[in-house]
């Protein structure tokens, strides 16, 4: 049985690169321990990616759509779309809260103020769909330097502007408010703007500081 599993992984490894290049990222790397070739902290990984952990390596993967968080030690990992397949590895899997659906605002909404991006509690009709984060210090995937504006949409006057560059970004693309020592208000609604892109999100009322999985705090423009 072990031989069959290893052989199957080998087949996926041979077939996957071309298909993987056409795919969106499936997961993000939250942590790496030991010598794991080709994988680093906060890397996006594509479906079909083969990760060789060896005897002592370990990795924590956060799946972006399924909100599955995996802690894998040793062996070989094949990244899937919603979860991993492993051989000769110990895997611990948990379902976590995450912003699985991106809520980027439309062109017309982007031209309005942040306060008009959401309906008030007195208005009728369905509220716009927005993403939720489950930590008070979100991680923004801005993919470059520029000015990040974060503005409350449910209360006037709360506006923050941050100039992000290679000194403040992780891997040249991620701005982590926790690393910057700043936090947002649990239960509040916000609009974040970076260049021409804008995203609407809400901080979950139970959001907390501290050790919160990356995928629970990640907002992708």
pLDDT tens digits for 183-204?
999 999 999 999 999 999 999 9
Q: Which tens digit of pLDDT belongs to each residue from 204-215?
A: 999 999 889 999
Prediction pTM value: 0.78
Confidence at residue 136, expressed as pLDDT on a 0 to 100 scale? 97
Q: Looking at the structure, do residues 136 and 207 belong to the same domain, yes or no? A: yes
Instruction: Name the residue range of residue 201's domain.
Output: 107-220
The number of folded domains in the chain is 2
Q: Looking at the structure, do residues 154 and 189 belong to the same domain, yes or no? A: yes
Q: Is the pLDDT of residue 77 over 50?
A: yes
Q: Looking at the structure, do residues 63 and 134 belong to the same domain, yes or no? A: no
Label the pairing between strands 90-95 and 189-194: unpaired
Confidence at residue 210, expressed as pLDDT on a 0 to 100 scale? 86
Q: Looking at the structure, do residues 114 and 45 belong to the same domain, yes or no? A: no
What integer is the mean pLDDT of 83-87? Answer: 97
Nearest to 28 by CA among 177, 203, 170: 170
Residue 134 falls inside a structural domain: yes
Residues 41, 45, 49: CA angle, nearest 5 degrees: 120
Confidence at residue 130, expressed as pLDDT on a 0 to 100 scale? 81
Report residue 68 CA to chain centroid gap: 12
């Amino acid at each position: 049985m072990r031989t069959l599993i290893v052989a199957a992984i080998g087949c996926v490894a041979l077939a996957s690169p071309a298909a993987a290049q056409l795919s969106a990222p499936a997961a993000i790397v939250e942590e790496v321990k030991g010598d794991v070739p080709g994988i680093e902290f906060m890397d996006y990984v594509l479906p079909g990616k083969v990760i060789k952990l060896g005897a002592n390596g370990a990795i924590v993967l956060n799946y972006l759509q399924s909100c599955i968080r995996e802690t894998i030690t040793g062996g070989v990992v094949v990244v899937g779309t919603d979860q991993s397949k492993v051989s000769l590895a110990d895997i611990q899997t948990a379902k976590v809260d995450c912003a699985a659906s991106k809520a980027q605002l439309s062109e017309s909404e982007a031209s309005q103020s942040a306060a008009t991006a959401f309906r008030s509690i007195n208005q009728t009709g369905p509220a716009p769909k927005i993403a939720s984060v489950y930590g008070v210090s979100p991680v923004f995937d801005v993919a470059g330097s520029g000015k990040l504006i974060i503005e409350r949409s449910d209360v006037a006057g709360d506006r923050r502007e941050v100039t992000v560059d290679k000194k403040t970004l992780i891997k040249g693309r991620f701005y982590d408010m926790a690393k910057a020592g700043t936090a947002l208000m649990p239960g509040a609604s916000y609009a974040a703007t970076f260049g021409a892109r804008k995203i609407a999100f809400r901080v979950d009322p139970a959001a907390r500081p501290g050790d919160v999985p990356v995928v629970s705090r990640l907002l992708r423009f």
